[in-house]
Structures are given as structure tokens and as C-alpha cells.
């Protein structure tokens, strides 16, 4: 890229924000006065915001308020710091669910580029950015875009995210767009059903971070009864995903399946099918990396 210009890929998930270098909770909360601690502190427009913590409640779209713009500023700051910079002209590389891409793309671009020149502080360090443009791509596709040439004649890519599950068939290295589908039933839905069962059986809820630890088969500190409920519900949920794949006309025994997204590791840990035609991309940042790859490709084509 030209000097001073950065392409920054950001995956705006409802549970986690991801760049190619960072992952943090999709949470933002305004603080009335300047706080004592500066970790994950964003200062913009004369106001203070704590980034991370408790995730935002899911809404129909991400452009209803400034929350995802503020999270974008935090993501840019984190990524620029990793690159040794605090000032840059920026191309944003982002994504939307497959089947909502056409409907929401223009609004998302307007939302992210409405303020072109932005000065703000993150963790008490000043950042100055000029947003040159935003490139938007279909999530799921982005996670595998640089690998399409290595796939067999026909594969099904399944992106299990926080709020949506995208299913993208790839035939002869090209997405079969008419058969792409998006289910409004991601891991947040699973966590809600887990807590419903915890309340019903044990009269208590579990923090989402503890549920996610069990999903990743990490130590959670929960007692056996809660862990048992979580594991049973997760296995049921993963089975339902396979059922949805079957309902969409795919033979689970013969179709090569590639799971991507944050839920890929959960499917690997708890999925009911473990066989040769099922593989997993466990890189939670795969979409963010793909957005950058696709943006660099688009910019090279524009300059020819």
C-alpha cells in the first residue's frame, strides 16, 4: 500500500469484535466522568466509553446508534498500535451476513464513512484517522476466499457466528449464490437456551464467559451440574445445525463440510459427526483476515 495508508479488517460480531491481531468483547458503555482506569477506555466527542465488558444486546441492524462506530474506533486503535502507528489513512474492510449483504451493504458503508476525519483517544493515546472508504464483503465467503482454489469440486462452507449461521455452497471454486442461506440462530441463541435450562433445573444463570469456556473445553470453575447442562445443550444445538444442513438438501455422508467462524471450535468439540468429509477452520479471525485479503485484491484491480 501507499505510505500512510492502512487496510484494517474488522469482523463486527455480536459477541466479539475481531481484527487480524485482536479479539475483544462487543461491549461499549458510556461513563459519566473520567474514570480512574484507562484500559480499554475510549474518549471521543468529549465523552468517555468503556470498551468490552458485557456484550451489547442484539438488534435488527448494527447501524441504529453509534455503538458499532465506537467499537470500530477501538478496533482501529488496537490494530494501529499493533502496527506501530497512531495516525493513518484507513480503508475499512468489513462484512455482512451472506443473504443480507445486498440489502444492508450501502447503509453499512454510509454508517462507517459518515465521519471521514476523526481524532480520538484510546487508552489515553491520541489517534488521528482519515477514513478513505469502506469495502464490504459477505462473511463466510471472506473466511475462505484465499483458499477456494484448493477445494474439491463441491464443498459446503458453514460459518457459525454469534447471531447468524451462514451456509455457502461452493461449486468449481465459485459460491453458488442462489443456494446460499442465513439462519438467525447463532451461538447467542444456544447460550440463551442454556441459561433457560439452568434456571429451570438449578434456579440460577451462568455468565456467558463461563459458558464459552465450556464450549471451548477450557477450565470454567463451574460445578458439575452446570457443566452437564451446558454440555448437553451445546450437543443438542450442534445436532440441530446438522439437521438444518440436511434440511437444505445436503448429504451429510458425502458432502465435504468446512466449518468456520467462532463456532467452528464448538462444532469440533461437540458436533455429533466426526468423519473424513468434515473439516474445521479454527481461526476466529478468519473473516477479518479475509476482508483485508479481498480489499487488497480490489484495490489492486482498481489501480490497473
CB of 217 within 8 A of CB of 196? no
Query: CB under 8 Å, gap of 24 or more: what pairs does 1-5 form?
Result: 1/296, 1/299, 4/87, 4/88, 4/89, 5/88, 5/89, 5/90, 5/91, 5/132
CB of 4 within 8 A of CB of 63? no
CATH classification number, 5-138, choose in 3.30.420.40, 3.30.70.360, 3.40.640.10, 3.30.450.20: 3.30.420.40
Question: Strands, E, within the chain: which ranges?
Answer: 5-9, 11-12, 16-18, 23-25, 28-31, 41-44, 47-51, 87-96, 117-122, 125-138, 154-160, 165-171, 174-175, 181-183, 257-260, 278-280
What pLDDT score was predicted for residue 257? Answer: 96
Same fold, 5-138 and 145-283: yes
Cα-only R_g, the chain: 20
Q: How many helices (H) and strands (E) does the chain have?
A: 8, 16
Alpha-carbon torsion (32, 37, 38, 39), positive or negative: negative
What pLDDT score was predicted for residue 304? Answer: 74
Name the grid cell of 277.
Answer: 468429509
Could you report the per-residue pLDDT of 207-232, keeping only the tens digit for each?
999 999 999 999 878 989 999 999 99
What pLDDT score was predicted for residue 219? Answer: 82
SS3 of 107-131: the string is HHHHHHHCCCEEEEEECCEEEEEEE
Provide the greatest CA pair distance for the chain: 63
- Report the candidate in 130, 93, 127, 95 with the shortest Cα–Cα distance to residue 115: 130
**145-283 has which CATH code?**
3.30.420.40
* Cα gap 30→229, rounded to integer Å: 35
Q: Model pTM greater than 0.85? A: yes
User: Where along the chain do its domains lie?
Assistant: 5-138, 145-283
Q: pLDDT (tens digit, 0 to 9) for every residue of the chain, 304 residues total?
A: 567 799 999 999 999 999 999 999 999 999 998 888 999 999 999 999 999 999 999 998 999 999 999 999 999 999 999 999 999 999 999 999 888 888 999 999 999 999 999 999 999 999 999 999 999 999 999 999 998 888 878 999 999 999 999 999 999 888 898 999 999 889 999 999 999 999 999 999 999 999 999 999 998 789 899 999 999 999 999 999 999 999 999 999 999 999 999 999 999 999 999 899 999 999 999 999 999 999 999 999 888 7
What pLDDT score was predicted for residue 49? Answer: 98
* Cα gap 84→155, rounded to integer Å: 39
What pLDDT score was predicted for residue 2? Answer: 62
Amino acid at each position: 500500500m501507499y505510505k500512510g495508508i492502512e487496510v484494517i479488517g474488522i469482523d463486527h460480531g455480536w459477541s466479539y469484535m475481531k481484527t487480524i491481531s485482536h479479539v475483544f468483547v462487543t461491549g461499549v458503555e458510556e461513563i459519566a466522568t473520567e474514570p480512574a482506569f484507562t484500559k480499554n477506555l475510549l474518549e471521543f466527542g468529549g465523552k468517555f466509553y468503556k470498551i468490552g465488558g458485557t456484550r451489547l444486546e442484539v438488534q435488527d441492524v448494527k447501524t441504529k446508534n453509534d455503538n458499532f462506530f465506537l467499537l470500530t474506533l477501538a478496533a482501529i486503535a488496537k490494530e494501529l498500535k499493533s502496527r506501530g502507528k497512531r495516525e493513518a489513512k484507513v480503508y475499512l474492510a468489513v462484512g455482512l451476513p451472506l443473504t443480507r449483504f445486498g440489502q444492508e451493504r450501502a447503509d453499512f458503508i454510509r454508517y462507517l464513512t459518515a465521519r471521514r476525519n476523526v481524532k480520538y483517544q484510546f487508552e489515553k493515546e491520541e489517534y488521528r484517522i482519515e477514513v478513505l472508504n469502506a469495502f464490504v464483503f459477505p462473511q463466510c465467503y471472506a473466511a475462505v476466499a484465499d483458499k477456494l482454489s484448493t477445494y474439491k469440486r463441491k464443498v459446503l462452507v458453514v460459518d457459525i457466528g454469534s447471531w447468524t449461521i451462514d451456509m455457502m455452497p461452493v461449486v468449481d471454486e465459485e459460491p453458488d449464490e442462489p443456494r446460499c442461506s442465513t439462519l438467525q440462530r447463532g451461538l447467542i441463541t444456544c447460550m440463551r437456551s442454556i441459561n433457560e435450562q439452568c434456571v429451570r433445573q438449578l434456579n440460577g444463570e451462568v455468565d456467558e464467559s463461563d459458558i464459552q469456556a465450556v464450549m471451548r473445553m477450557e477450565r470454567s470453575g463451574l460445578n458439575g451440574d452446570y457443566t452437564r447442562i451446558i454440555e448437553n445443550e451445546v450437543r443438542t444445538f450442534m445436532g440441530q445445525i446438522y439437521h438444518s444442513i440436511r434440511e437444505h438438501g445436503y448429504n451429510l455422508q458425502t458432502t465435504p463440510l468446512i466449518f468456520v467462524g467462532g463456532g467452528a471450535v464448538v462444532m469440533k468439540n461437540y458436533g455429533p459427526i466426526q468423519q473424513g468429509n468434515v473439516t474445521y477452520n479454527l481461526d476466529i479471525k478468519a473473516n477479518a483476515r479475509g476482508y483485508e485479503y479481498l480489499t487488497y485484491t480490489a484495490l489492486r484491480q482498481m489501480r490497473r
